[in-house]
Amino acid sequence: MIPDITQFISTTANVGPDTAHGIVRTVVAVLVIWAVRRVVLFIVFRRVEDARRRYAWRKTTGYLGAAIGAVTLAVIWIEDVGSVATFVGLVAAGVAIALRDIVVNLAGWLYIVARRPLVVGDRIQIGTYAGDVIDIRLFAFTILEIRNWVEADQSTGRVVHIPNGQLLREPLANYNQGFSHIWNEIPVLLTFESNWRRGKELLEEIAREHAESLSQTAEQKLREASKRFMIYYTKLTPAVYTTVSQSGVLLTIRYLTQPQRRRVTEAEMWEDILTRFAESPDIEFAYPTTRFFDHVRETMSPDLPGSPVAAGPERDK
């Protein structure tokens, strides 16, 4: 059976009989190692219920199978080829395949050291995870998680370990690189009947009180960041923008804040907004409302009997 397969491979692939024989032995060895590992795991999983012990068995048999496979391939190909270079190449290929994740994570660590896309203390987001970097190691870095079930970029208390290789696969957002500040916005919706100009003046005063000093600090940081990145802003001071929505006049405060203080500054500003608007009777918050229009009653001609609408001198008669 095997000589027939060897002859078939030699003829089809146009290789020598020794090489074809080595290919057959390699395939057989790989299949045997794979089958033995599957049998061992099958027996272990039937007798072991603990998930951690199952995981340990799976990883251990995987590494052991890769090592045995590398040695087996070395014996097969050194005997047939007789080349040290071929042996080294095969071993390197086997190691790269078996330890692919470790190699990728090590490459990610080299990327962190060389390019410094993040450092300890940075607030970052990578994939679905966001948090503050608290540790960087050879194969993984650690963040203190934010968001998830907690609002406004506050900490959840969970520590998340992320493989360094993720930096080579996922986009990385760094809150602190650039000029170490982020833009935040607070939308305030007023009714159409409100004195929205007075409301805008109050919001501009509140924004200046809370964020103008940060704008001065950010300007200095921006000059430093512009040496590394093409970051350019013409205005860093707080601003209030006016738009119209379905339920009223929308005034949006836009201001700079430090990433870790976004929720704190927003809460402080909202407290001032509520206090000052309460002192202004001509300013009211808007909320979704529904208004009805009676076309018959509100547009009925005054000449029609029973019309509630009268116009001009006819109303006084």
Which CATH number does the domain housing residue 156 bear? 2.30.30.60
User: How far is residue 218 from each of residues 116, 226, 236, measured CA to CA in Å?
Assistant: 21, 12, 8
Tell me the three state secondary structure of residue 169: coil
In angstroms, the CA 242 to CA 201 distance is 12
Is the domain of 87 the same as that of 149?
Answer: no
Which residues is 7 bridged to in the sheet?
A: none
Domain presence at residue 109: no
The range of the structural domain enclosing residue 169 comes to 117-174
Is the domain of 122 the same as that of 211?
Answer: no
pLDDT, position 3: 59
In angstroms, the CA 138 to CA 130 distance is 20
Is the domain of 167 the same as that of 186?
Answer: no
Does 276 have pLDDT greater than 90?
yes
Is the domain of 286 the same as that of 167?
Answer: no
Query: pLDDT tens, 298-315?
Result: 665 555 455 454 444 444
Domain presence at residue 159: yes
Cβ atoms of 20 and 10 closer than 8 Å = yes
pLDDT, position 47: 87
| Angle of CA points 33, 34, 39, to nearest 5° | 100
Is the domain of 184 the same as that of 310?
Answer: yes
In angstroms, the CA 195 to CA 288 distance is 19
Domain presence at residue 61: yes
Is the domain of 317 the same as that of 183?
Answer: yes
Which of 21-35, 63-77, 136-150, 243-257 is the least confident region? 63-77
* Domain boundary pick from 98, 133, 148: 98
Does 101 have pLDDT greater than 80?
yes
Query: pLDDT tens, 161-190?
Result: 999 999 999 999 998 876 678 889 999 999
Is the domain of 92 the same as that of 191?
Answer: no
Per the structure, the count of domains in the chain is: 3
Is the domain of 163 the same as that of 217?
Answer: no
Does 135 have pLDDT greater than 60?
yes
Is the whole-model pTM more than 0.75? no
Is the domain of 196 the same as that of 170?
Answer: no
The candidate with the shortest Cα–Cα distance to 76, out of 62, 66, 90, is 90
| b/e per residue 2-20 (b: at least 16 CB within 10 A) | eeeebeebbeeeeeeeebb
Query: pLDDT tens, 217-256?
Result: 666 666 666 666 666 666 778 899 999 988 899 999 999 8
- Stretch 263-290: mean pLDDT: 90
Task: Report long-range pairs for 100-107 (Cβ below 8 Å, ≥24 apart).
Answer: 101/163, 101/165, 102/139, 104/163, 104/164, 104/165, 104/168, 105/138, 105/139, 105/140, 105/163, 105/164, 105/165, 106/138, 106/139, 106/164, 107/164, 107/165, 107/168
Which of 49-53, 97-101, 219-223, 312-316 is the least confident region? 312-316
